[in-house]
Structures are given as structure tokens and as C-alpha cells.
Structure 1
């Protein structure tokens, strides 16, 4: 019987468990689907070991980009960065492939990040994040990958995403006009950024959900799915977003947010330079962060964002962006 064309299948956990146990020489394992999202994430574990297995969607990540992520994480781990590492199978192969209903899907096994995300970080934990993010940037600012990864620029972070989402704002003209007007103002600021800004491969999503602290405060960074070339201040910005969100949700005060971020910055600067100009650019870089992911959500409506995407989400997101543009600078160190 002919298989009807498929755009996004979900691979069986039980079948994956058998396949991966054989490929990696594992025994007594279980496999469960953790997240069906941008990509599919499974937890593989037995009595002594635990792993993450990630299966990519071709519509989201082509083979060349997947290889770039593997290369980046391998370089980071080999140079001492605290990251979840890709794990080869018994034959030394890191990339696995599966003949799924929609065609070939690729998967990679990763080491488990011990611990859990911490949102109310202590001063010591903030210092650890600062030091270890700077250590990652010391590596990513001095390498050139063999494989392609996205470039983050005014075009890819602001201009193209705004063109992509325009149809979604057909009945929300006021909101779209605000985004376009603000984009023009932000782009003028981008033009003023100095050549002294640090540049390299950035994670582009350094929120606390993407790193774990163990019980002994060992940190592990993971989910480099969006890693690409750009201003390293994008990573500083995405981490700062956490304090902004905590503030507007009433979980901390302006002073607490500012002090916590300053603790992080001071620790970062003990490992590598971070200029006051880069800090001052955070409100504008943050606008690019919001707009980039808005475009991504629109493009992935069929496979991911249809559960939340709609007029209410767009109105709420534009209101959040307005709050960001009005508030972010007030939370930065004086």
C-alpha cells in the first residue's frame, strides 16, 4: 500500500529503544519521548546511565547545519567547555539516520546534563554562568566551522523576519506598524555599533532553560540548535532577557534584576572583555531576538506553533516587545 505523503512523523519510542541499544551497545534501557517540538527529544536511560537523543526535522535543520552543530559542540567539549557532548555509536558514527515516513531523518545522541534549570540563581551560580559563558565565547570567537551555520545580522534577525510575518498581521495593522517603526529606529542603532563588538558563534538562546546546575553547582549548557555566527552580545542579551521577564512578572524588583545581572557581567569580565557599548546595545539586540523568533514561530506553524499562534498571541507578543523597549534599559547596570 502506498504511504500517503507525510511532513512530520513521530518515531516510535519502543522501536528507537531497540535500535539505539543495538547501535550504542546499551542494555536494560528505556526510551521515552520528552519533547515533540522544533525537533524531537527522547530520554534514553538504564540503571546507571542517561542520555538525550535528538531527532531533527529536515524542514528545520538540513544535514549541513546538523553537522555544524556536532562540530561546534565537539570543539567546545574538547576545549573544556561545560556542554552536553555528542556521543558516537559502537562504529564511531555520531550521526544516525532513519527512513521515516517523510524521508530520512537524522538523530544524534547527547550526554545527559546533570541537574535541573535554576531560575532564582544565587550569586555563586550567577558567577558560574558568567565565567563559563565567557569561556565558551573564548573558544567560539576564535574558530571557523567546516559546516554552515546561520549568520545573525540585521537582515536575518529583523528585516527578513518582519517580511515573513507580515501576512499574519493583516488585521493587526497598528501592531505591525509599531514593529516596523521600532525596527527602523533599532536598525539605526545597529549602524552605530562599533567594530569593537565581539563576534563569533553564539548560542542565541542562553536562557536558564538551556543549562542545568547539579546539586554541587556543576553547570552544563545544552540545546545549541540555534547556534550561529553573530555578535556575542546576543548571548549576553538572551541571558538578560531572563531578568527582564522575572521583573515584569513581579518575581524580582528593578534593583534585584540589575544587581543579579551585574554579578553575572563582573564574572564574565574576569574571563574575557565585555564593553560598556555592548551592554548598552542590549535593548536593540533584544528587539532582534524577539523578532527573529517571531519569524521562526510563523514559519513553523504547521509543525509546532499552531497550538498558540493567533491574533491574541501576536497582540500579547507585541505588547511584550513594547514593554521590553520601554523597560530593558532601566534594568541595566547604571
Structure 2
């Protein structure tokens, strides 16, 4: 989640989106707001096909990180992994930028994924879902970026530490940070277990094509260097939290599919709850940062409701930090 003040400024009058979309061929009058979370996303049409403009505020998402993300996506696609890809602008660039009074924004355009998101599928194809993530990890094992690298879990925890220092009353979160960091630093980072992961391989970012029974993946903007098991634990967050027979069956089917492509050590499987602790802590820090300096004299109607929702999430996460390690 981006800072809420930045969100309001970036959405105002759709000014940023309108300036950026001018760099890509598009059908006039089709640009529409889609969503805003860690980035801004607008849908538009070109020759009746749907595309997505995604942009980020440069102070929150550096250009080098976007370049590294797009390079990884292109590598995956070139090696047969079905994911969306960035499309060049009329200037032949994958990333365009615009400067506004509040700062610089970086934008990219992606094709629409084929199929429907997994959360709309009546019966989750969990084995195919697991195979897809394993295939991504197999390609990640041999990936050597030509340009800059994506951030790692170390930078993510450093970000969390920086945020928490601005909130010295968050004692339990600071204690959790120390536990998570010490645990991850003790973990072996072999080529088989560690690499560049998607980090958000959940049902809203994975699309299912029933006719071909294949998956297509979007949204690599949270990708980072981490243990591959973190990717699985993040993907199966709902199944790990829902302690019921259906969730357990889905988890086991996902793991079967994953193991049909590449090995998954039993110790890593048992470590899923601790990887979830990393994810909770990192999300908590991002939400705290998003709420900072978010009091605006002239605010849109939706802002107060969103702030209340994010504060509630923070309260729930604080309770999780007190759980036994």
C-alpha cells in the first residue's frame, strides 16, 4: 500500500494517468481507473483490446526497481512462462515518466491476462497452481539479471525497521522484527531454495484459462529475493489461516503440483507459519507508512473509510505479533 497522501495526489483529476497514457497508442476516451494499492492501475482500450497502464510515485518505487521487475518478466516470458509483458510506448520505451509538482511518476503498460482470476473459479485448480509457481522458481534458479537487481528480504526488513523507528511505541512489532531477522539470517540460502520470487502469487494475480487448462500471471511489483518457500506460504495464506478440511486439501494439492516440477523440502513446508510472520510484519510496516502524514484539508470522501480499514488491519496484525514464535 502506497502512502495515502500520495494516493490522493496521484489520482487527482486523473492528471498523471492522462499525461502518461499519451505515450502509448490508445483509443481516445477509454481510460478508466481500475485500482490503487502499491501502484496506480488504469484500464484502457486500443483497437478494442484491453490493456493496463500502471504507474508509481518515484519516491516510493525507484526507477531501477521497475526496470528490474520488467526484465524478470521478459526473461520468464522468453523462457515459455505464461505471464503478461510490458509493451513499448510510441517512443519505443517500456517505461515512461512524467514530472508533476509533487514529484516524478513512472508508468508502464501491460497486456491483459487471458482467462479469469482464480478467485472466480468454482473449484480451484490447485495442482496446476502449484505447478505454475514451481515452474517460475525453476526459471528463477538460473536467472542472472543484466541490469540492476530487485530488492531482497533484507531491504524489506530494513524498510520495516526504518518505519518502526518512526513509531517507537510499536514495541511488539520491533520484537517481532528482531525474531524474524534472526531466523532468516540463520537459514541456508542455497540455489535450490532461494532466488527471485513473485511474492504475491495469490488468486487475484493468477488467471485460469479453462479451454487450455493453463495459468497466466500478472503483478510482479512485489517481487524480491527470498526463499522459494516464502512464495508458497504467501500464495497459500488463506489456506494456512483457514484450519478446515477444504483448506488443507487445497494446500496438499498445491504442494503435490509443486513437487511434480521441483523438490520442496519438508523442513521448508514446516516453516510456512514463520514465513507468514515475515509477511505480516512487512505488511504491517507498509500499512503504517501508508497512514503517515495522511491528514488532508481537502480529502476525497473515500479517504476516511480507507484509513479506518487500514487501522483495523494494523490492530489485527499487532495481535499476531504476540503469538508464540
TM-score bin, normalised by smaller chain: 0.7 to 0.9
Structure 1 contact 17–30 (Cα < 8 Å) conserved: no
**Aligned match for 2:199, one of 196, 204, 209:** 204
Query: Distance between the aligned counterparts of 2:89 and 2:175, measured in 1?
Result: 51
Q: Report the counterpart of residue 298 of structure 2 in structure 1.
A: none
Q: Report the counterpart of residue 220 of structure 1 in structure 2.
A: 216
Query: Distance between the aligned counterparts of 2:12 and 2:36, measured in 1?
Result: 10
The answer to whether residue 284 in structure 2 is matched with residue 291 in structure 1 is no
Q: Relative contact order (alpha carbons < 8 A, sep ≥ 6): 1 or 2 greater? A: 2
Q: How many residues align?
A: 305
Query: Distance between the aligned counterparts of 2:14 and 2:176, measured in 1?
Result: 46
Query: Distance between the aligned counterparts of 1:314 and 1:42, measured in 2?
Result: 28
Q: Report the counterpart of residue 225 of structure 2 in structure 1.
A: 229
2:54 is paired with a residue whose SS is strand
Cα drift, residue 309 of structure 1: 4.0
Deviations along 1:134-182, one digit per CA (max 9) or x if unpaired, are 11111112112211311114xx455762562255462x6xxx33x4555
Deviations along 1:170-226, one digit per CA (max 9) or x if unpaired, are 2x6xxx33x455555555544553454611101122221222224434322111111
Specify whether residues 207 and 74 from structure 1 end up closer, same or farther in structure 2 by C-alpha distance, changes over 3 A only: same
Q: Report the counterpart of residue 35 of structure 1 in structure 2.
A: 35
Cα drift, residue 37 of structure 1: 2.8
Q: Report the counterpart of residue 96 of structure 2 in structure 1.
A: 96
Q: Report the counterpart of residue 279 of structure 1 in structure 2.
A: 269
Deviations along 1:213-254, one digit per CA (max 9) or x if unpaired, are 244343221111111112111101101212134x1xxxxx52
1:56 is paired with a residue whose SS is strand
Query: Distance between the aligned counterparts of 1:284 and 1:158, measured in 2?
Result: 14
1:44 is paired with a residue whose SS is strand
The answer to whether residue 249 in structure 2 is matched with residue 259 in structure 1 is yes
Q: Report the counterpart of residue 9 of structure 1 in structure 2.
A: 10
Cα drift, residue 116 of structure 1: 3.2
Deviations along 1:56-98, one digit per CA (max 9) or x if unpaired, are 1112211111111111111111111121111112442111122
Q: Report the counterpart of residue 300 of structure 2 in structure 1.
A: none
Q: Aligned ranges for residues 127-146 of structure 1 at < 5 Å?
A: 127-145=127-145, 146=147
Query: Distance between the aligned counterparts of 1:16 and 1:157, measured in 2?
Result: 28
Specify whether residues 18 and 151 from structure 1 end up closer, same or farther in structure 2 by C-alpha distance, changes over 3 A only: closer
Q: Report the counterpart of residue 62 of structure 1 in structure 2.
A: 62
Query: Distance between the aligned counterparts of 1:321 and 1:243, measured in 2?
Result: 20
Query: Distance between the aligned counterparts of 2:99 and 2:166, measured in 1?
Result: 35
Cα drift, residue 27 of structure 1: 3.9
Q: Aligned ranges for residues 113-132 of structure 1 at < 5 Å?
A: 113-119=113-119, 125-132=125-132
2:164 is paired with a residue whose SS is helix
Query: Distance between the aligned counterparts of 1:19 and 1:282, measured in 2?
Result: 40
Structure 2 contact 82–215 (Cα < 8 Å) conserved: yes
CA RMSD after TM alignment: 3.1
Normalising by structure 2, report the TM-score: 0.81
Where do 5+ consecutive residues of structure 1 fail to align? 1-5, 248-252, 327-334
Query: Distance between the aligned counterparts of 2:24 and 2:179, measured in 1?
Result: 52
Q: Report the counterpart of residue 330 of structure 1 in structure 2.
A: none
Query: Distance between the aligned counterparts of 2:314 and 2:25, measured in 1?
Result: 47
2:116 is paired with a residue whose SS is coil
Query: Distance between the aligned counterparts of 2:235 and 2:26, measured in 1?
Result: 36
